[in-house]
A and B are shown apart, each in its own frame.
Chain A
C-alpha cells in the first residue's frame, strides 16, 4: 500500500488523466476531483498528504479551495497548477492558500515528479518533528507528575566543574520508585 496519498483537483478530466500518467511510476495513491467542493468531500474521508489544484475552475477557484484546505488540513502540502500564470493569481494563491509550489501548464513531468518527491520528504520530516514534539510534551507531563511525588527528583545537580552528580539511592529505594512509576503509568 502506498505511503502517500495525493489529491488532484482540475475541471478538465484530460489534465487529471495526464497527471496520473506522469506519476504512474511513483508509489502514490492518487485521488481526483473535478471541482473544489468534491475535493473537500474527498478530504473529509481520506487522509491526504499533498494536493495539486488547478486555479481557474467554475464556482470555487483553486485559491479559494486551497485556502479552505489550509484552514482545515494545515499540514497538507498544497501545489497549484495553472494555465494562466499571472503574478496576481500567484500572489493570491500564495497569500490565501500558502502554497508550496506554483506550476504552469503544460508541466514538465520530470520537474513535477522531483517537486512532489521533495514536497513529500518535507511533509514526512515535518510529520516526524510533530511526532517527536508530541513525545517530548508527553514526557514533560510525566516528569511533572514524578516531580510532584518526589520533589527535586528531576533536578540535575552539578558539581563545581559542571559534572552531573548522581544521588546515591539504596536498591530498596530504587525498586520502590520503579514500582510506583509502573503502577502510575502502566
Chain B
C-alpha cells in the first residue's frame, strides 16, 4: 500500500500554469508539465527550434554537451516559446501573475521580469541541461516569487538533504557546502552565457533581466557559502543550537 502510494505520487505529471495579465488587457498563458519521476520537462509539440537555439550559438564555456550529438541547447529549446512571446516586451512592464499548481494558487502584481524569472527558473532546470540539473529538487518544491533569503534557504536545505542521501549510500557527505559553491559557479556561467545568447537575437530586455534576477539569487548563495555568511539563517535555528 505504502509503495503503491509512493509510485503514483512519483509517476504523476507535475503541472504549473503561468498566467500573465497586462495593463493593456492582453494576457499570456503557459503550461509547464514535468515528468514526476525524472522532473524532466515534457516538451509540447512545436515547430523546429529557432537558429539561436543551436548549441554552438554562444555555447556556454562549461557546456559538457557534444555538438555532434546535440544540435540544440536544451535550455534555449525550452525557453524559445517564452522568448518569442516576450521578445517585444520590456522587463519593467507591470503584470498580474497567477501561478496555478495542483495544490495551490499563487498570485502577485509585479513587473514582468520578476514574473518571468520564476517561470524561466523552472524551464532552465528541467530542460535537460546537465549543469542545471543539480537544482532539480528545488523545482519539485518550487516557490514562486521567492526572496533572496528564501531561495538561499531552499538551496542550502536541498543540498544538505542530498548529502544526507549521499551519506546513506555510503559516500562522503560535503557538510562544508564546497560542492554547492561549485554548482552555483557553474550555474552563473550558464546564466551569463545564456544572456549573451539572448542579447544577440532581436529581443527587448524582459527575458534577459529575468535570467539576471536568477543570477542575483545564485550570486547571493555563492556569497553566503564563500563568506560563511549565514547568520540570518543560523539565528532561526536557536532551538537546535
Contact = CB atoms under 8 A, between A and B. Distances in A.
Interface in A57-106: 57-58, 82-86, 104-106
Given A21-B223, A104-B199, A106-B195, A83 B216 contact: no
Interface stretch (B38-46, B72-80, B201-209): B201-209
Contacts of B208: 83-84, 105
A14 interface: yes
A128 interface: no
Contact of A105 (B148, B195, B223): B195
A127 B125 CA distance: 49
B216 A14 contact: yes
Label chain B's interface by main secondary structure: helix
Q: Which of A11, A15, A56, A86 gathers the greatest number of chain B CB atoms within 10 Å?
A: A56
B187 to A, nearest CB: 11
B212 A84 contact: no
Contact of A12 (B90, B204, B213): B213
Label chain A's interface by main secondary structure: loop
A14 B111 CA distance: 13
B191 interface: yes
B92 A18 contact: no
Interface of A: 11-12, 14-15, 17-18, 21-22, 55-58, 82-86, 104-106, 108
10 contacts: A11-B92, A12-B114, A12-B212, A14-B216, A18-B215, A83-B208, A84-B204, A105-B215, A106-B188, A106-B191
Interface of B: 90-92, 111, 113-114, 148, 188, 191-192, 195-196, 199, 203-205, 208-209, 211-213, 215-217, 219-220, 223
